[in-house]
Amino acid sequence: MIIGVGTDIVCIKRVNPQNAAKILSKQELERYEHFTSPTRKEEFLAGRWAAKEALTKACTASMGPYDFNTITIARDETGKPVIETPLIPGHQIMLSLSHEREYAIAIVIIETKNEP
Protein backbone atom coordinates (compact mmCIF):
# COMPACT_ATOMS: atom_id res chain seq x y z
CA MET A 1 0.00 0.00 0.00
CA ILE A 2 1.34 3.44 -0.94
CA ILE A 3 1.67 5.65 2.13
CA GLY A 4 3.47 8.65 0.65
CA VAL A 5 4.41 10.37 -2.60
CA GLY A 6 6.76 13.31 -2.92
CA THR A 7 8.30 15.28 -5.75
CA ASP A 8 10.80 18.10 -5.97
CA ILE A 9 12.44 20.13 -8.71
CA VAL A 10 15.66 22.08 -8.21
CA CYS A 11 17.31 24.74 -10.34
CA ILE A 12 20.84 23.32 -10.55
CA LYS A 13 22.59 26.71 -10.45
CA ARG A 14 20.82 27.67 -7.20
CA VAL A 15 22.35 24.84 -5.14
CA ASN A 16 25.37 26.16 -3.27
CA PRO A 17 28.40 23.82 -3.34
CA GLN A 18 29.38 25.17 0.09
CA ASN A 19 26.38 23.23 1.47
CA ALA A 20 27.55 19.87 0.09
CA ALA A 21 28.40 18.50 3.56
CA LYS A 22 24.89 19.38 4.81
CA ILE A 23 23.19 17.78 1.80
CA LEU A 24 25.34 14.71 1.13
CA SER A 25 26.02 11.66 3.26
CA LYS A 26 29.63 10.63 3.84
CA GLN A 27 29.47 8.12 0.96
CA GLU A 28 27.91 10.67 -1.40
CA LEU A 29 30.44 13.34 -0.42
CA GLU A 30 33.31 10.98 -1.26
CA ARG A 31 31.80 10.31 -4.69
CA TYR A 32 31.06 14.04 -5.23
CA GLU A 33 34.67 15.00 -4.48
CA HIS A 34 35.97 12.60 -7.14
CA PHE A 35 34.08 14.31 -9.97
CA THR A 36 36.37 16.52 -12.03
CA SER A 37 33.67 18.28 -14.05
CA PRO A 38 32.07 21.26 -12.26
CA THR A 39 28.86 20.62 -14.24
CA ARG A 40 28.71 17.00 -13.07
CA LYS A 41 29.27 18.11 -9.46
CA GLU A 42 26.40 20.62 -9.74
CA GLU A 43 24.05 18.02 -11.25
CA PHE A 44 24.95 15.44 -8.63
CA LEU A 45 24.42 17.84 -5.73
CA ALA A 46 21.14 19.20 -7.11
CA GLY A 47 19.85 15.70 -7.83
CA ARG A 48 20.58 14.55 -4.28
CA TRP A 49 18.90 17.67 -2.90
CA ALA A 50 15.79 17.03 -5.02
CA ALA A 51 15.66 13.36 -4.02
CA LYS A 52 15.96 14.11 -0.31
CA GLU A 53 13.37 16.90 -0.50
CA ALA A 54 11.01 14.53 -2.32
CA LEU A 55 11.59 11.90 0.38
CA THR A 56 10.77 14.42 3.09
CA LYS A 57 7.55 15.36 1.29
CA ALA A 58 6.59 11.69 0.93
CA CYS A 59 7.10 10.96 4.62
CA THR A 60 4.22 11.02 7.04
CA ALA A 61 4.54 13.20 10.14
CA SER A 62 5.61 10.18 12.22
CA MET A 63 8.50 9.37 9.85
CA GLY A 64 10.47 12.58 9.68
CA PRO A 65 11.91 15.14 9.12
CA TYR A 66 15.53 14.01 8.78
CA ASP A 67 18.91 15.59 8.27
CA PHE A 68 19.75 15.19 4.60
CA ASN A 69 23.25 13.89 5.33
CA THR A 70 21.76 10.84 7.13
CA ILE A 71 20.22 9.66 3.85
CA THR A 72 22.25 8.16 1.00
CA ILE A 73 21.22 8.02 -2.64
CA ALA A 74 23.16 5.04 -3.98
CA ARG A 75 22.89 2.92 -7.12
CA ASP A 76 21.66 -0.63 -7.37
CA GLU A 77 23.37 -3.30 -9.48
CA THR A 78 21.74 -1.90 -12.64
CA GLY A 79 22.76 1.70 -11.92
CA LYS A 80 19.28 2.82 -10.86
CA PRO A 81 19.25 5.35 -7.98
CA VAL A 82 18.00 3.97 -4.67
CA ILE A 83 17.48 5.57 -1.28
CA GLU A 84 19.35 3.99 1.60
CA THR A 85 18.21 4.98 5.05
CA PRO A 86 17.62 3.05 8.28
CA LEU A 87 15.24 5.83 9.31
CA ILE A 88 12.18 4.34 7.60
CA PRO A 89 12.19 0.63 8.47
CA GLY A 90 9.57 -1.72 7.07
CA HIS A 91 8.94 0.33 3.94
CA GLN A 92 9.96 0.17 0.31
CA ILE A 93 11.16 3.48 -1.09
CA MET A 94 11.11 4.00 -4.85
CA LEU A 95 13.01 6.86 -6.48
CA SER A 96 13.08 8.38 -9.95
CA LEU A 97 15.74 11.03 -10.54
CA SER A 98 16.44 13.08 -13.67
CA HIS A 99 18.54 16.06 -14.84
CA GLU A 100 17.80 18.32 -17.77
CA ARG A 101 19.89 21.40 -18.55
CA GLU A 102 19.01 23.73 -15.68
CA TYR A 103 16.93 21.43 -13.50
CA ALA A 104 17.05 18.25 -11.45
CA ILE A 105 13.81 16.51 -10.50
CA ALA A 106 13.01 13.61 -8.20
CA ILE A 107 9.91 11.59 -7.41
CA VAL A 108 9.66 9.33 -4.35
CA ILE A 109 7.00 6.76 -3.53
CA ILE A 110 6.91 5.07 -0.12
CA GLU A 111 4.92 1.91 0.37
CA THR A 112 4.61 -0.73 3.04
CA LYS A 113 6.64 -3.86 2.28
CA ASN A 114 4.02 -6.33 3.44
CA GLU A 115 0.38 -5.76 2.59
CA PRO A 116 -2.23 -7.36 4.88
Single pTM value for the model: 0.90
99 has catalytic annotation: yes
Report pLDDT for 62.
Answer: 62
Q: Which residue among the candidates 22, 34, 52, 57 is catalytic per the annotation?
A: 57
- Which of 37, 115, 23, 106 is CA-nearest to residue 71? 23
Domain encompassing residue 8: 2-112
> Could you confirm whether 52 is annotated as catalytic?
no
Q: Where are the alpha helices (DSSP H) in the chain?
A: 20-23, 26-34, 38-58
Report the pLDDT value the prediction gives residue 78, as an integer from 0 to 100.
Answer: 95
* CATH number, residue 80: 3.90.470.20
> What pLDDT is attached to residue 90?
82
| Angle between the N-to-C axes of helices 26-34 and 38-58, in degrees from 0 to 180, rounded to the nearest 10 | 160
User: What are the pLDDT digits (tens) for 42-73?
Assistant: 999 999 999 999 999 998 666 666 789 889 99
Q: What is the pLDDT of residue 87?
A: 76
Please give the tally of structural domains in the chain: 1
Note the pLDDT of residue 85.
Answer: 85
Backbone angles phi, psi at 55, to 5 degrees: -60, -45
Single out the catalytic residue among 22, 26, 99, 113: 99
